[in-house]
Structure 1
C-alpha cells in the first residue's frame, strides 16, 4: 500500500514553515489486521440499538451569582452520557482482567432559572424553560465491571437535561409594571433662565432708585432757586430760525424708516448662522444677502444724512441743535432736575429745544451717526486692506454699542413725543405745522405702516430680486 501525501497548510508561527512538515503519512501496521479481526467477530445479524450509559463529570465551581450565595453552579459534578460501544470503536479485550472501579450514584435536583425579557417583540420571557436538572453525588455504589482501556475510551457527551443549566445565560427577571413605574425618571422641571432673576432684581433696584431720585429732586426744587435762575433752555443766537421746514419732516420720515430697517438687519447679521443666500458684486466681492441689504440701507441712510447736514447749515437750523453757550451745562442740570421731579420743563419745540434735547440731538447727529458710519465701513469688504490705521477689532467693539445708543435714543424720543403732546409734536415733525393739526398724526401713521410693511416684505426671495441688477445672487 502506498503512503498518501499530506496536504500542507499555513505556518503555525509568523515566518515559519508550512504545517505539517514535508513528508508522507504512514498508517499504523496493525490498523488493517485489527480492522479485519473486528469485522470477522461481528455477527451478520441486524445490529441492536446501543445502550447509553452515564458517568460522572466534575465541574469547576466559580463565584456566587448573588451576594452571600453559594458558589455557582450549585453542584460539584454532573452526569454525562457516554457514546455506545460499537464494532468500529471496540478494542480487543485484554488478556488479564483490570481492577474494578467504584462508581458513585448520582441524583438530579431541579433548579429554578431566572427568566428575563423576551428575545423577540411579543415573545415569551427568555429562557423558555423555568427549571433545569443539576446532578449531585449522594453516595458510593458497589464495584462495577472493569472499564475499557484508555486507548479505546468512549467519547463523552453532555446529558441534555444538565447542559442548559450549566450553559444557559442567567437573565435578570422581567420587571413588573409597578417596579418600572417607580424607576421611570421624572422629567426635570423647566428651570427659569439665570438672567431672568437678575433682570427682575435689577428692575426693582432701578425702580427704587427712581423713587428716591424723584423725592430728592422735589426737595431740591422746593429749597433752591436753581431751576428759576436756569430754566433749562440755553440761549441761542439772535438770528436762530423759528419753525421747522418741510424738508426736515421728509428727512425725519426717511431717517425713521432707514434706522428701523438698519437695526433689524444688524440684529439679523449678529444671529445669522447660515445665510439664506449670497450676493457677489460685479467686482467679485462676495457677502451674505443680509449683509448686502444692511450695507445698501447704510448707503441710503448716509445719503439722507448728507442731504440733511447740507440743508441744516444752509437754512440755519443747526443753531437749534448745536450748543453755542457755556450755559448749556447748568441748563442741562436744571432740565434733568425738572424731569426727575415729574414737573417737566415747558415744551415749545417749534421755537427751541430744552438743553437736554439740544445736547441729545447734537450727539446723535454729529457723534453717533459718524461713528456708526465709520465703524460699519471698517467692518465691510469695501475697506481698503492697505489702510491699517483703524483695527477692525476696535470697530466691532464700537459698532454694536453705537447701535444700542440709537435704540435708547429712539425709545426716549418717542416717549417724550407722546408724553408732551402727541398731536402738537407730530404736527411739527411730519406736517411742518405750528398748530399741530391731524395731518401730522395721519402722516405719522402712514410712515409707521410703510416701515412695518417693508420690514415684513424684506424676505430673501424679495431681496434676491432687488439685488440681481447689482450682482449675482446664489445659494452658496
Structure 2
C-alpha cells in the first residue's frame, strides 16, 4: 500500500491496469466442458496430493544425488539417520494421521501407490481432454499470452492485490496478467512436469533411460515431483482464497453454472461439490484399510495393462565399480528369532537351504554346498518402493542352477523365498 503512494507507481498501474492486449477477451464465458473438467481436476488432485504425501512419508528424505547417502539429503522430515548402528529403511518411515495420508498408517506405501497410480491415470485422461478441447474451441486464448505486455500487467496486478486495493474483476471476459500466468504455469508447465518427473521414478523406465546415475537421476525426478506437489497445493490454496476474496458469488457462478451474475445458485452447487469431496476424503482411509484387496484389484483393473507393458521394457544400463554407492540402505527389518541368532553366532555353519513344493527333487543344501556351486557377481541398481536408490555389487548362486537341481514341475508358477525376518508375511 505504501508503494502505491508514489506517483511513478500510480502511473505504472494506470498504464498497465492488469488487462490488455496480451490476451483477447472471450465474451462467451466458461463452457460446460471446461467447468466439468475443472471440478474433476480439483477432486483428483486432492487425492493425488494425499497419496503423494503418504508415499513421501515412507522415505521422508529428498536428494539430488543417486546414492541417497544419509546426510546428503536437501530436505528431510526426520532427524539424521544414525550411523552408529544398523539402521533400516523401514525404521525411517513416518506415521501420518488418517485424515491426511492415504491410507495414513505407517509403511502403507503399497496401498498409497495404487491410489496415486489410479488417480494419476484419471487425471492424465482428464488433462488430455482439456488440452484437446482448449485448442479446438479457442479457449486456449484465455490462458496463453500473445504478447510480452503480460509481464508489466502481471506486476501491476500483483501490486494491486498486495495493497489490498484489488483490480476490477474481469475474469468472465479476460483474466488479468497474474491470473493468466498462474493458469498458464499450472496447465502448461507444472502439469507436464508432474507427469515427466513421475514417469522418471518408474524403475523400468529409469533402467531403460539409465537414470540410476548422472545429473538427471531418479532422485532429481523425485525431488522435482515433490516440488510440483507443493506448487499444486499452494495454487489450490491461493486459488480458493482469491475466489472468495474477490467476489465469491460471481466467481462461483462462473465456475459452476457458467453465468455472470451474483445469485446464490453457484454457491449452492459449490457446497454440494464440497460436501461430496469431504465425504470421499473422510471415507477414503477407513474403506482402504477395510478393503485393501479391493483397492489393489481396482488399481490393477485401471492401470494393470499399462504397468505390464512398462515392466517389459529391457534395461540398457551397465554399471562399473565406480558407480557403486558409498552407502546402501538396509531394507525391511532385522531378524530377531532364536534360530537366526543361533546361525549368526555359528557363522551360519549349520545353515541349510530347504527347497520344496512343486518340484521333482526336494533338496537341502548346506552353506558349504551352496558355495561349491558356480558364483555370479553383478553390479545392479536398486529402486526401492520406498523411494531410495543405490548401486551395489551382488554375488551368489544363480537361481537357474538351483532350478536345474530340483527340476520344477510343469504346473509350478512362482518361486517364493522365505527369510528369517518376522512380520505379517513371516519373512516371505
Q: TM-score, normalised by structure 2?
A: 0.55
Q: C-alpha separation between the residues in 2 aligned to 1:221 and 1:313?
A: 42
Change (3 A) 1:336 1:395: same
- Any conservation in 2 of the 1:293–1:463 contact (CA below 8 Å)? no
Query: Which residue is equivalent to 2:11?
Result: 225
The equivalent position to 1:355 in structure 2, one of 177, 189, 192, is 177
Deviation at 1:383, TM superposition (A): 2.6
Query: Which residue is equivalent to 1:468?
Result: 297
Change (3 A) 1:465 1:335: same
Query: Which residue is equivalent to 1:296?
Result: 118
Aligned length: 252
The equivalent position to 1:444 in structure 2, one of 270, 280, 283, is 270
The equivalent position to 1:340 in structure 2, one of 162, 182, 195, is 162
Deviation at 1:291, TM superposition (A): 0.9
Q: C-alpha separation between the residues in 2 aligned to 1:445 and 1:439?
A: 10
Query: Which residue is equivalent to 1:396?
Result: 222
Query: Which residue is equivalent to 2:54?
Result: 268
SS in 2 for 1:264: helix
Deviations for 1:287-323, whole angstroms, at most 9, x for unmatched residues? 7111111111111111111111111111111101001
Moved more, 291-300 or 362-371: 291-300
The equivalent position to 1:429 in structure 2, one of 255, 264, 273, is 255
Structure 2 regions of 5+ residues with no counterpart? Answer: 59-92, 97-108, 302-423
Q: How does 1:48-447 map to 2 (within 5 A)?
A: 214-215=1-2, 217-220=3-6, 224-236=10-22, 240=26, 242-272=28-58, 273=93, 288-381=110-203, 383=205, 385-388=207-210, 390-447=216-273
Q: C-alpha separation between the residues in 2 aligned to 1:242 and 1:422?
A: 20
Change (3 A) 1:435 1:420: same
Q: C-alpha separation between the residues in 1 aligned to 2:277 and 2:14?
A: 42
Change (3 A) 1:224 1:468: closer
Change (3 A) 1:248 1:426: same
Deviation at 1:241, TM superposition (A): 5.2
Deviations for 1:28-75, whole angstroms, at most 9, x for unmatched residues? xxxxxxxxxxxxxxxxxxxxxxxxxxxxxxxxxxxxxxxxxxxxxxxx
Q: C-alpha separation between the residues in 1 aligned to 2:117 and 2:298?
A: 16
Q: C-alpha separation between the residues in 2 aligned to 1:221 and 1:256?
A: 42
Deviation at 1:236, TM superposition (A): 4.7
SS in 2 for 1:225: helix
Query: Which residue is equivalent to 2:407?
Result: none
- Any conservation in 2 of the 1:232–1:332 contact (CA below 8 Å)? yes
Deviation at 1:437, TM superposition (A): 2.8
Deviation at 1:360, TM superposition (A): 0.5
Q: C-alpha separation between the residues in 2 aligned to 1:418 and 1:275?
A: 34
Question: Which has the larger share of strand?
Answer: 1
Q: C-alpha separation between the residues in 1 aligned to 2:265 and 2:293?
A: 36
SS in 1 for 2:6: helix
Q: Which has the higher contact order (CA 8 A, sep 6+)?
A: 2
SS in 1 for 2:209: coil
Q: C-alpha separation between the residues in 1 aligned to 2:219 and 2:290?
A: 33
SS in 2 for 1:385: helix
Change (3 A) 1:299 1:330: same
Deviation at 1:391, TM superposition (A): 1.8
SS in 2 for 1:307: helix
Query: Which residue is equivalent to 1:106?
Result: none
RMSD (Å), alpha carbons: 2.7
- Any conservation in 2 of the 1:232–1:331 contact (CA below 8 Å)? yes
Query: Which residue is equivalent to 1:73?
Result: none
Q: C-alpha separation between the residues in 2 aligned to 1:393 and 1:321?
A: 32
- Any conservation in 1 of the 2:25–2:142 contact (CA below 8 Å)? no
- Any conservation in 1 of the 2:23–2:145 contact (CA below 8 Å)? no
